[in-house]
Structure 1
Amino acid sequence: MKRILIFQTAFIGDLVLVSSLIKSVAKTYSEAEVFLVCKKGYEAIYEGFQYLKGVIPYDKKGIRGFASKLKSIKFDAVFSPHRSHRTATLLFLSGIPLRVGFDTAGFSFLYTRRVKYRRNVHEVERNIQLLLAVNKAARVDLKPELFVSKDEVGKVREKFSLEFPFAVISPGSVWPTKRWLPEYFASVGKYLIEERGLVPVIVGSAADIPVAEKVFRQIPFAVNTAGKTNLRELMALIAGSSVVITNDSSPTHFASAFKKPVVTMFGPTVKEFGFYPLGEKAKVAEIPLYCRPCGIHGGKRCREGHFKCMRDLTPEKVFPLIDEVLKDGDFAEKRDVGS
């Protein structure tokens, strides 16, 4: 095969985790050019990624026009973890000879090879099944990976005057019920300062500014970068950090890709969905409840009206997990943040 396409236009976290599939495809077909289609606006995530020939942004408009664009590139195969009807239709119209997708995808009959969607396994392992269905001898690499240069880390540290080791705190989420309480994040921030000597750096998008401000106002000496970074700068902050404390959201997967210690709060969602943090220093903070999980993405409000999955997950339950992932004191200054 001369040209191979990976198609993933879902959320940022899904896009980060598809890096394992990209690497495995590139290593298996070392002579081929590998391209990625992602949602427009997310292409910066894969800047400098050595396993890709190029990234093609898609704004999810004009199926026929975009299909024609893909057809003109003459791909030999496409692997699609994305399971929407739109994606299956678009790839069918692109005329790519080998189209590999999951059997649970919308309009899955439009794929030339349908692969069983495995539940209760991590997303990276699930995605790799697409490749193994075509090549059982594939060179599989299950570790997510992204690239950020030391220069990028240096510039973002300079931008926010980060002269000391720091921890990233990510209190936001698109889904309200996936957000741990701001006062709990604040308690963790104080703990990181007092017990670990780490400056808490709060991150988030423009939409996360209100919750980030609530956390920031409660932590002395914290730095609030919410709404002040682009994707590359967010990645650089995570790559340069000593530890990441986050909700079940994309910073979890960025931390995995940069091999960072990470503690992730799981409330309405569970590890069995396959989106937990990976790595030797990755921990999930959660408590057992009869009502968990309440949905794949959480929701706008607790269906039971008590929100115990987050309220009862107190900071005191999280402190030991932070100590565990940081027990060797191997902070960012001692690490090579580049890939």
Structure 2
Amino acid sequence: MRRVLVFQTAFLGDLILVSPLLKSLKRTFPGAEVSLVVRKGFEEVFRGAPFVSQIIPFDKKGVWKFSRLLASGDFELVVSPHRSHRTSLILWLSGIKRRIGFDKAGFSFFYTDRVKYRMGKGIHEIDRNLDLLRPLERDYSVVYDREPELPLTPAEVGKALKKFSLEKSYVVLAPGSVWRTKAWLPEYYAEVANYFKGKGLTVVLVGSPSDSPYCKRVEELSEGVINLCGKTSLREFFSVVKGALLVISNDSSPVHVAISVGTPVLEIYGATVPEFGFFPYRNGLYVELEDLHCRPCGIHGGRKCPEGHFKCMVDLKPEVVIEKAEELLSSLS
């Protein structure tokens, strides 16, 4: 096997979680070039990774044109965790001889090998992605590497921490989300921020520019927090997470950044549930309001609570999150 392709153009967290798949392919085919298709804007995520030979950005326009680009790449195998109709069509049009994808993917009949998409208690997205390599076991000795990884050098981390004046121990809070019902109340995040400030720790807020309303509200209620929302590059964001004592985040990409750089992380669930497979894979815990009949209300959450009460977040009080955060820190000390 000389040239292998992985296709994942979903959200940032989904992309980060393909690192074990990429590493496993590289270990299985050490002489091969392993290329990765990402959503345009995410080209820097795996910069410097020894397990990725080429990053191919896709702006999700021009299906035929992009399929022709892939066809010119002389790939012998493509593995796709991405489950969209468009992805399946592009890969079929590319003419890559062997195409492995999930049975739940749109137009899954375009794949030469279809793998069962598993979901349930204890099954993580990393495990599902690695399931995609099982069809190869018939022909190759597949080597599985289950450790998530984001390549960061000490110099890169140090530069970012110096830029944002993060000399003292700090906790990172990530209060934003693309989906409103996945976002814990900013007022509650502010209470958590005040608790850690009371312990003498610096509190840093992170997020994309679209998360600014959440971060701004926390900043208004917790004087002295460092608000980096929308102010970091992707790589600086990773570095800030790497340098943290602890990360507290909604069900969103900061959780997966934290597990990939070895930072303890506490994940807060609202509309979604751990059974979807995006709980902390390692060095982390999660909190949720259990036995609420309306959870989950969607695979991604939604713009508003369909029941109109938002109990999954409103009734999950700050003291519960603080207690779980202290439990996590104690377990690692």
Report Cα offsets for 1:133-153 as digits up to 9, x if no partner: 212641112221111121221
Structure-1 residue corresponding to 2:2: 2
For structure 1, which runs of at least 5 residues remain unmatched after alignment? 331-339
Q: Are residue 166 (structure 1) and residue 166 (structure 2) matched?
A: no
For the residue of structure 2 that corresponds to 1:46, the secondary structure is coil
Q: CA deviation at 1:221?
A: 2.4
Instruction: Write the distance in 2 (CA, Å) between the matches of 1:116 and 1:210.
Output: 39
Shift of 1:324: 1.6
Partner-residue secondary structure (3-state), 1:317 = helix
What is the match of residue 111 of structure 2?
111
AA matched with 1:192: F
Residues 124 and 281, structure 2, Cα contact 8 Å, conserved in 1: no
TM-score (norm 1): 0.94
**2:232 aligned with 1:223, yes or no?**
no
Q: Which runs of 4+ in 1 moved over 3 A?
A: none
For normalisation by structure 2, the TM-score amounts to 0.96
The equivalent of 2:182 in structure 1 is 178
Superposed displacement of residue 88, structure 1? 0.8
State the shift of 1:165 in Å. 1.0
1:255 maps to 258
After superposition, residues 1-339 of structure 1 pair within 5 angstroms as 1-120=1-120, 121-135=123-137, 137-195=141-199, 197-279=200-282, 281-288=283-290, 289-327=292-330
In the TM superposition, what is the alpha-carbon distance from 1:329 to its structure 2 partner?
6.7
Distance 2:193 2:153 in 1: 27
Alignment partners' CA distance in 2, 1:27 and 1:273: 28
Partner of 1:335: none
Shift of the alpha carbon at 1:328? Answer: 5.8
Q: Please give the per-residue CA displacement for 1:82-105, whole angstroms capped at 9, x wherever unaligned.
A: 111111111111111110011111
Amino acid in the other structure paired with 1:37: V
AA in 1 matched with 2:284: A
User: For 2:168, what is the secondary structure of its paired residue?
Assistant: coil
SS, match of residue 198 in structure 2: helix
Superposed CA offset, 1:145-195 (max 9, x none):
111121221222122211101111100000011110111111111122223
Q: Which moved more, 1:61-70 or 1:134-143?
A: 134-143
Q: Percent identity?
A: 50
Amino acid at match of 2:6: I
Query: Please, what is the CA RMSD of the aligned residues?
Result: 1.2
Aligned length: 328
Higher mean displacement: 154-163 or 259-268: 154-163
Deviation of 1:222 after TM superposition, in Å, equals 1.1
Contact 2:272 2:300 in 1 (8 A): yes
> Structure 2 stretches of 5 or more lacking a match?
none
Deviation at 1:314, TM superposition (A): 0.4
Q: Report deviation, 1:307.
A: 0.6
C-alpha offsets along residues 54-90 of structure 1, whole Å, 9 cap, x if unaligned? 1100111111111111111100100001111111111
What displacement does 1:198 show?
2.1
For residue 198 of structure 1, what is the amino acid of its counterpart? L
